[in-house]
């Protein structure tokens, strides 16, 4: 398949649904024959960011490292799906400029919804002072001013959000407009 490489950058608070959506999009794209790589910031941090903390400087460096990996993969024809809180607009803009083919997805859920979804208890620990500089509690999250897609994960199903992302990728020319999608169990042309 002839594919156009792009980095799709999923940003939002912890537990907003970034990883869930990136994996759903990856599954759909792979089923259509695309070459896809998922870079989840938690996993990438374990390998190339172990020395980094959670200060603004360290968070920005972590995002730059993930952006560098995404740039290399995109440059080599891969569709890259990045799932990262990436709380600061300036470093996301820097990564966007470096990569070129870039689509930002704001995975938006209210803080109270994210806290309710938190199975690891990180928000609770942060509120108790056990985690310092936790995004959304004592460290800011800067919502993207102009994302290509905004997914309201407290109001939309995973499928609805995934379909918005896939449609935008088609509209921006990153996916073939003739790719078939599943609707009610049958294939239809889009």
In the chain, domain spans:
6-172
Please indicate, yes or no, whether the overall pTM of this predicted structure exceeds 0.75.
Answer: yes
List the structure tokens of 86. Answer: 């990436």
Q: Is 161 annotated as a binding residue?
A: no
Q: Is 130 annotated as a binding residue?
A: no
Asked whether the predicted pLDDT for residue 142 surpasses 90, the reply is yes
Q: CB neighbours (10 Å) of residue 155?
A: 11
The backbone torsions φ and ψ at residue 183, rounded to the nearest 5 degrees and listed phi first, read: -135, 120
Between CA 81 and CA 25, with CA 52 as vertex, the angle to 5 degrees is 10
Residue from 111, 102, 104 nearest 153 by CA? 111
Q: What pLDDT does 137 receive?
A: 87
Mean pLDDT, range 75-92, rounded to an integer: 94
Asked whether the predicted pLDDT for residue 56 surpasses 90, the reply is no
Q: Is 18 annotated as a binding residue?
A: yes
| C-beta of residue 107 within 8 angstroms of C-beta of residue 11 | yes
Q: Is 13 annotated as a binding residue?
A: yes
Q: What pLDDT does 44 receive?
A: 76
Q: Is 15 annotated as a binding residue?
A: yes
What percentage of the chain has pLDDT greater than the value 70?
89
According to DSSP H, which parts of 77-121 are helical? 89-99, 111-117
Q: What pLDDT does 100 receive?
A: 93
Asked whether the predicted pLDDT for residue 179 surpasses 70, the reply is no
Q: What pLDDT does 187 receive?
A: 35
- What are residue 39's DSSP bridge partners? 82
Which stretch of 53-57, 107-111, 118-122, 163-167 has the lowest confidence by average pLDDT?
53-57
Q: Is 14 annotated as a binding residue?
A: yes
Asked whether the predicted pLDDT for residue 18 surpasses 50, the reply is yes
Mean pLDDT, range 77-101, rounded to an integer: 94
Chain mean pLDDT for the chain:
87
| Topology (CATH level 3) of domain 6-172 | Rossmann fold (3.40.50)
Instruction: Just list the catalytic residues.
Output: 86
Q: Is 17 annotated as a binding residue?
A: yes
How far the first Cα of the chain sits from its last, in Å, is 18
Which has more confidence, 181 or 19? Answer: 19
């Amino acid at each position: 398949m002839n594919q156009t490489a792009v980095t799709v950058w999923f940003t939002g608070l912890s537990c907003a649904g970034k990883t869930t959506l990136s994996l759903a999009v990856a599954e759909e794209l792979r089923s259509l024959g695309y070459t896809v790589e998922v870079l989840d910031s938690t996993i990438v941090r374990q390998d190339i960011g172990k020395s980094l903390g959670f200060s603004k400087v360290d968070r920005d460096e972590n995002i730059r490292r993930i952006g560098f990996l995404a740039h290399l993969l995109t440059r080599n024809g891969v569709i890259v799906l990045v799932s990262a809180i990436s709380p600061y607009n300036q470093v996301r803009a820097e990564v966007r400029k470096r990569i070129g083919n870039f689509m930002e997805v704001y995975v938006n859920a209210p803080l109270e919804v994210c806290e309710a979804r938190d199975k690891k208890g990180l928000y609770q620990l942060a509120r108790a002072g056990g985690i310092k500089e936790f995004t959304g509690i004592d460290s800011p999250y800067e919502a993207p001013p102009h994302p290509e897609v905004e997914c309201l994960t407290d109001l939309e199903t995973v499928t609805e959000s995934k379909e918005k992302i896939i449609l935008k990728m088609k509209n921006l020319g990153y996916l073939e407009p003739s790719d078939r999608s599943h609707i009610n169990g049958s294939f239809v042309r889009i």
